[in-house]
Amino acid sequence: MNLDDMARRLPAERDLPAARKQILKEHLMTELRQADPTRSRTRRPRRTVLVAGAVLAAAAVAIATAVVVGTSTSPPAPHTAQPAQPATPATAAQLLAKIATAAARQPNPVVRDSDFMYIRSMDAYTDNTIVDGHETSVMEKLHERQIWLPVANICATGLLIENGQRTLISPFPVTKDGTIDRHPPKGTPQLNFTCPSKGHLGHASYRLLQAIPTQPGALAAYLTAGKKWTNDDPPTEIGDMIRETIMPPALAAALYRLAATLPGATLVPHATNAVGRAGIGIMWTSTSAKQVYKNEWIFDKTTLQFIGERTYDPATGKLTGESAVIQQAFTAKAGQLP
């Protein structure tokens, strides 16, 4: 069942209680700004396709106070009493319903339009390189990834620090000296949105996420309309929304409730993220950019918070990527640490 069918089968919004997407290229500007068109990563979080331009010189980063909305995944101290583990749900749909309830209970952070979403993770994905017509695939080593994304305006410049490199994130071209060219020469493909912008599916600011409708029918219709940006199936769209962002509680709850109605999910009672944190998983076999892949969402068994993902080759079952969410926060500037 696709989202159009779901939207038609859901009851009218007035009868519902009030309540909350690396393979696809986003648009021509993004495609033209890829540093090396012969390289791609298997199911790398979509945010990387928006990275524009040159590596910046290493510099000291000022540490500032931030609103922290996630915590470290360090194990508890020895002899610390552990909360009782809830009973394992029998199906993926039951687990998603519980995850939605837990998400809805989270507090709403107070953030300013000038702030940035900060996500720190540990990642390893497959590099696919084509040389002289021959493709090779090599799994990266697990490494730290830090990203700062604008809260209100995707035209603002974000930052990615990964593998020791500092890279600007912008929808505009980046010059060789690392500055943003907001007035590129004639003939340069133009943005297909107007700045300032809250963004769109596949490149959403926190303010856009806050504005997405959370009633089931309206949310299904919104995701269907957003396929012009993503062209992915529903599980992929939802997965790319939760992968590397800070989700408003109402939208997170609504997305998990919607996912619970979709066919094709299987429960993974014992799942582990990239740093070995035990959890519970949901496995999807999905299609993105006409490629079939298997993707596992991993949640903490106690808090039911999203703590990472694993991706697999559907033909061989071989691991092609993994991640672990370490920390999420809001900071005043790109480059500041919480």
For 3-45, how does the pLDDT look when each residue is reduced to its tens digit (9 = 90+)? 445 444 444 433 333 332 333 333 333 333 333 333 344 444 4
Q: Which two tokens stand for residue 59?
A: 């510099």
Average pLDDT over every residue of 102-119: 97
Distance from C-alpha of 170 to C-alpha of 191, rounded to nearest angstrom: 11
Distance from C-alpha of 280 to C-alpha of 304, rounded to nearest angstrom: 8
**What is the DSSP track for 262-275?**
SS--EEEEEEE-TT
Q: What does the mean pLDDT of the chain come to?
A: 78
Degrees, nearest 5: CA angle 50-22-55: 40
Average pLDDT over every residue of 253-265: 95
Tell me, what's the pLDDT at 236?
86
Tell me, what's the pLDDT at 122?
98
pTM here is 0.76
Tell me, what's the pLDDT at 86?
60
Distance from C-alpha of 324 to C-alpha of 309, rounded to nearest angstrom: 7
Bigger pLDDT: 85 or 216? 216
Tell me, what's the pLDDT at 130?
79
Q: Place 178 in a pLDDT band, splitting at 50, 70 and 90.
A: low
Tell me, what's the pLDDT at 93?
97
pLDDT in tens, 181-223: 777 766 666 777 889 999 998 889 999 999 999 999 999 999 8
Tell me, what's the pLDDT at 11?
40
Tell me, what's the pLDDT at 293?
79
Bigger pLDDT: 303 or 78? 303
Degrees, nearest 5: CA angle 21-152-16: 60
